[in-house]
Amino acid sequence: MHTDLQFREPQNQKPPKPGYQVEAETQSFFKTGYEYFSLSSNEATTRLISALKTLENSNPDEPYLWKEKYPRAFDIYPNTYSYLPYFVDFLFAQNIPQRIRTFLSEDLYLGDLTLRRVGAGQQYSGWHRDTNVYDSNSKGRMPVLHKLIFYPQLGRPSTPQLKIIPGSHRRMFSNRHIDSLQTRILPKVRIASSDNHALFFNTGLFHSAEAVQTEHPSFRLIYCFCYKYQLSQFGGREALHEIYQKRLFNE
Ligand SMILES: O=C(O)CCC(=O)C(=O)O
Ligand SMILES: [Fe+2]
């Protein structure tokens, strides 16, 4: 006769609690959904910043051009990554792959990157989650992407760039209107332009771009990170995927 008796724990011996350890940074990232961290100064970063400064005053070299993606927001077209190698160099010079491993305890892959120039006027993008599920309709990429955004200061006074609501990635209401109430009542964190800081965040977090109120445009360098199997969602960027993976595993 079958009996499961042999699998029982001895009566007077409590089984140990399953033990596991989660790094403090991983826990913190899970809770807040973002990390705003200092960059180190190095040659690759200096090169990138001076290239951005040049682009502040001139158009990209032909055949590349600024193309309006949203009102007042222009991206380098047809893509940013092949315009200069500095955009990918920056990631490795700043140990971003290692940082991602610390925040998430796994590797992510680079799906795309874009340099965006935003001109003065009303904010081009208000409160949103890049991926949402309202009344069982989903919008945006799945699973949710993580982004690294660098808002360079380029020798100007620091200005507000983005607002985020810490922890909001863990708290999505299925009713859009109730969900958006969070943006009225919860504490926000403001991210300002800086040549020596960058933001890494879960894009399920509520975030909102600040209006540009200066004469000069404001820049953001946006990197989209995803799981390996999601790379196919970024059609036309296969060469970038290869460049990133080669460096990720060989450096
Ligand atoms: O341009 C910005 O500051 C924010 C852009 C944004 O919402 C995004 O990349 O998901
Ligand atoms: Fe967004």
For 6-49, how does the pLDDT look when each residue is reduced to its tens digit (9 = 90+)?
566 566 777 767 777 788 999 999 999 999 999 999 999 999 99
- 3-state secondary structure labels for all residues of 6-42: HHCCCCCCCCCCCCCCCCHHHHHHHHHCEEEEECCCC
Distances (CA, A) of 95 to 24, 185, 251: 19, 36, 11
Q: How many A from CA of 104 to the centre of ligand 2?
A: 20
Which of 72, 141, 220, 224, when mutated, tests ligand 1's pocket best, judged by the most ligand atoms within 8 Å of its CB? 220
pTM value is 0.92
Cβ < 6 Å from ligand 1: which residues? 116, 125, 130, 147, 161-162, 203, 207, 209, 220, 222
Residue 17 pLDDT? 74
Residue 23 pLDDT? 85
Examine residue 61 and state whether it is found in any structural domain, yes or no: yes
Both tokens of 227, joined, read 């799981």
Examine residue 228 and state whether it is found in any structural domain, yes or no: yes
Q: Tell me, what CATH number does 227's domain have?
A: 2.60.120.620
Among the atoms of ligand 1, which is closest to the Cα of residue 73?
A: 1
Q: What is the mean pLDDT of the chain?
A: 94
Examine residue 102 and state whether it is found in any structural domain, yes or no: yes
Query: Which residue minimizes the CA distance to atom 9 of ligand 1?
Result: 222
Residues 6+ apart with CB under 8 A from 243: 81, 88
Judge contact between 179 and 213, C-beta under 8 A. no
Q: How many A from CA of 23 to the centre of ligand 1?
A: 28
Query: Which residue minimizes the CA distance to atom 1 of ligand 1?
Result: 209
Examine residue 45 and state whether it is found in any structural domain, yes or no: yes
Q: Is 220 exposed, middle or buried (0-12, 13-18, 19+ CB in 10 A)?
A: buried
Among the atoms of ligand 1, which is closest to the Cα of residue 151?
A: 3
Looking at the structure of the chain, the number of domains it has is 1
Query: Which residue minimizes the CA distance to atom 5 of ligand 1?
Result: 209
Residue 19 pLDDT? 75
Q: How many A from CA of 247 to the centre of ligand 1?
A: 26
Examine residue 183 and state whether it is found in any structural domain, yes or no: no
Residue 147 pLDDT? 98
Judge contact between 163 and 151, C-beta under 8 A. no
Residue 41 pLDDT? 97
Examine residue 34 and state whether it is found in any structural domain, yes or no: yes
Among the atoms of ligand 1, which is closest to the Cα of residue 124?
A: 1
Its domain, for residue 199, covers 22-122+145-155+193-205+212-250
Which of 115, 194, 207, 223, when mutated, tests ligand 1's pocket best, judged by the most ligand atoms within 8 Å of its CB? 207
The strand order across the sheet containing 189-192 reads 189-192, 160-164, 207-209
Examine residue 246 and state whether it is found in any structural domain, yes or no: yes
Residue 22 pLDDT? 81
C-alpha–C-alpha distance, residues 233 and 224, integer Å: 11
Examine residue 134 and state whether it is found in any structural domain, yes or no: no
Average pLDDT over residues 183-187: 97
C-alpha–C-alpha distance, residues 152 and 155, integer Å: 9
Residue-wise pLDDT for 218-248, tens only, equals 999 999 999 999 999 999 999 999 999 999 9
Average pLDDT over residues 46-69: 96
Checking if the pLDDT of 3 tops 80, the result is no
Long-range contacts of 183-189 (CB under 8 A, 24+ apart): 183/127, 183/208, 188/163, 188/164, 189/34, 189/36, 189/163, 189/164, 189/165
